[in-house]
Structure 1
Amino acid sequence: MGYIPRHLLENLKAYKYRGTDKSLVTRYILNPFWTRFVELWPLWVAPNVITLTGLSIVFFNFLTLLYYDPLYLTEKEEFEGPPHWLYFTWGIGLFLYQTLDAIDGKQARRTGMAGPLGEMFDHGCDALNTTLGCVLAGRAMGLGRSWWTVTSQIATLCNFYLTTWEEYHTGVLFLGYFSGPVEGILMIVAIYLTTGFYGPRVWENKIWTVLGIDNISPFSKIPNLPLNKSFMVFAAAGLSINIFHSYLNVLQARKAGKGKSHSRYHPLVLLLPFVVSTAIQIAWLSHPGFNDSYIIQSASFLPFLLAWGLQFAHQVGRMILAHVTSAPFPAWDWIWIWSALAALDANFPRLFGISPIIQTNARNTSYVVWFTFAISLLAYARFVTLVIHDITNYLGIACFTVRKKDENGHWKNAQPDKTS
């Protein structure tokens, strides 16, 4: 038995990717570079191989964090973190990820492999990169294990969820004049390079002082936040704008008869799954705690963020699958259950005035967090494997080779799309 129902598999053949990117940086700088860069890749290289290569680079960056900054996984965290030269490699790696993530679609059109599988694979890798990027960027800005890093995680995941939610309702992947995949990534690359030159303590400098306007009204009356926390405020403002524009795009699609919802407010209700899933994680993080077992201040913080990211990838993966198969919006995800039970157990003292059943000490809390990470990893791996198996078998394509099946069921080489 497959993961995707048979009647939904039939909708895969009707799927066609539609995207809009209004970024001036993309139009005048990056896209000409991407167009030339993709021509360096042979036609026998499958687009999903390019996508996976980009994610592997970011994952390698993450492994270097663990290797050169082992205290990040212990109870004792150093502010300075890894050697400064490492941040330059993170910047180069993230730029390469952005480049490969941009040209995989071009390679798909060159090889005639464009389709729903590429859409699923691309978004799945992007979802994983979101959390890894939050961890690395938070370390580069000296945020460390703090609520500011949690805030960064929420803002980044929310932007990704919002984009996927909008694409589901409009049928178009819309990137505005300022978007996370373009300008947002370039800003993080700049953060890595800045930290490489000056170290993470540069982000402790006050923003108005750096700009030389701390004694000028009205700035002298506005809190003079450090640069890293100012960046979080900027991200929150950008998120608010993105929410507004995404909802306008959904409304316009509905009025034009192209949207999947005829109700004005029903799409807004489908933002609640992200709110609920985030509330579960916050409830677990903010439990009363005991001694030194508070998750944010302990070595459990990193596996907690990774488990959260994997659950989010599972959530948006099902949303993208619903988009390419024209299925109902997946408002509920069973993967939340374990985190919800863990959050409830940790908050027994606050809710009922009794001790937790399982998380009675720091060691048990650590076990629960790591077990949650393992469950989340296995669940997402299962989802990815089953979906790839269903789509490749039904459409007669391969995931990592440029091949298709002929009428007799034999593999053959795909022909380039000469119209791309």
Structure 2
Amino acid sequence: MQPGPASWDRTIGTVFPSVASYVPSFVADTRLNDSTIYAGLLFVGINVATSALNVIKSRKSKKLSTTTPFFGLIPFFVFVAATFSWLYVSPTILKKHIVPFVLLIGCIFGHQVGKMILAHVTHRPFPMFNKSAFFIFTAGIISSFWFRDWTRNPTVETPLRLAAEHFATDFKAQVAQTFSTIGATHVAGRVLSARTTKFLEGLVVYVLLIISVVFYLRFVTKVIGAFCKVFDINCLTIKHKVQEGPVGKVDKVKLKKEM
């Protein structure tokens, strides 16, 4: 057995031969990487079910509607539908740009969850709509439709398409030159050999990733700043209290040193 990524392609029966005869064949034939997904789905399903029961129980005890809270799941289903729609229109993202795409989806999801937690803590209305997520998904899906149309109709030329292809050619050359300068000639060759549509598709994913990070950091710094202001504290340092003296406000640490 060799360690590494290939080890995840082994089946459960191969890794645990002693238990293979005690479980159904479809379980024994399941690969390890697939089993982690199934286990995750199982835990998520149990968590969602128990959470839903707790919400229903709590709402009934307060004589409130038990269906209203479940409307808060709409943003999640819209998020999942938008993600799958993007990948359905442009499935090559999974093979060519999977890492930046995963980071992009993670930033959007983290932003949405952060807004939900903030709304719960501050007793604000539930955030049913996320403007930044709407912008990013709309831009990604529309661009994917555009690039797919290029692939299906390679002979159709429009001014916008010609301008985009000219930009992609020049930009690819600049990126390849940058990698060649730092000694990454293999990466430079891959950049130059990339098809225009796939290169632009990856460029869109990376640009939207940067935008999502900016949106997320803006949200985080805004929340941290607001809480620090309300509680009169610093984020990563200790804010020493001040003491009123005959010459005005004096820091306690400095006051002790002077005394």
Structure 2 counterpart of 1:282: 84
Deviations along 1:58-116, one digit per CA (max 9) or x if unpaired, are xxxxxxxxxxxxxxxxxxxxxxxxxxxxxxxxxxxxxxxxxxxxxxxxxxxxxxxxxxx
Provide TM-score, normalisation by structure 1. Answer: 0.44
The residue type paired with residue 330 of structure 1 is: P
Say whether the 8 Å CA contact 2:243–2:251 is kept in structure 1.
no
Query: Structure 1 residues 410, 200: closer, same or farther in 2, change over 3 A?
Result: farther
- Partners of 1:411 and 1:250 lie apart in 2 by 48
Q: How does 1:9-408 map onto structure 2 within 5 Å?
A: 198-212=3-17, 216=21, 219-220=24-25, 222=27, 224-257=29-62, 262-288=64-90, 294-298=92-96, 300-336=97-133, 337-347=135-145, 361-403=197-239, 405=241
Say whether the 8 Å CA contact 1:287–1:347 is kept in structure 2.
yes
The two structures, once aligned, show a CA RMSD in angstroms of 3.3
- Partners of 1:402 and 1:255 lie apart in 2 by 44
Query: Structure 1 residues 412, 201: closer, same or farther in 2, change over 3 A?
Result: farther
Say whether the 8 Å CA contact 1:306–1:373 is kept in structure 2.
yes
Say whether the 8 Å CA contact 2:119–2:125 is kept in structure 1.
yes
Deviations along 1:262-319, one digit per CA (max 9) or x if unpaired, are 3212222211211211221221122256xxxx11111x22111111111111111111
- Partners of 1:361 and 1:326 lie apart in 2 by 46
Aligned-pair identity in percent equals 31
- Partners of 2:207 and 2:243 lie apart in 1 by 47
Give 1:341 deviation, angstroms: 2.6
Larger radius of gyration, structure 1 or 2?
Answer: 2
Give 1:213 deviation, angstroms: 6.0
The residue type paired with residue 331 of structure 1 is: M
- Partners of 1:385 and 1:398 lie apart in 2 by 12
- Partners of 2:120 and 2:243 lie apart in 1 by 28
Provide TM-score, normalisation by structure 2. Answer: 0.69
- Partners of 1:213 and 1:224 lie apart in 2 by 14
- Partners of 2:27 and 2:225 lie apart in 1 by 55
Query: Structure 1 residues 311, 407: closer, same or farther in 2, change over 3 A?
Result: farther
Say whether the 8 Å CA contact 2:10–2:32 is kept in structure 1.
yes
Runs of 5+ unmatched residues, structure 1: 1-194, 414-420
Say whether the 8 Å CA contact 2:12–2:31 is kept in structure 1.
yes
Report the 3-state secondary structure (helix = DSSP H, G, I; strand = E; otherwise coil) of the residue aligned with 1:335. Answer: helix
- Partners of 2:65 and 2:241 lie apart in 1 by 42
Runs of 5+ unmatched residues, structure 2: 155-159, 166-195, 254-259
- Partners of 2:219 and 2:34 lie apart in 1 by 36
Higher relative contact order (CA 8 A, sep 6+): 1
Whichever structure has more helix as a proportion of its residues is 2
Runs of 4+ in 1 over 6 A off after TM superposition: 353-360, 407-413
Say whether the 8 Å CA contact 2:12–2:20 is kept in structure 1.
no
Give 1:219 deviation, angstroms: 1.2
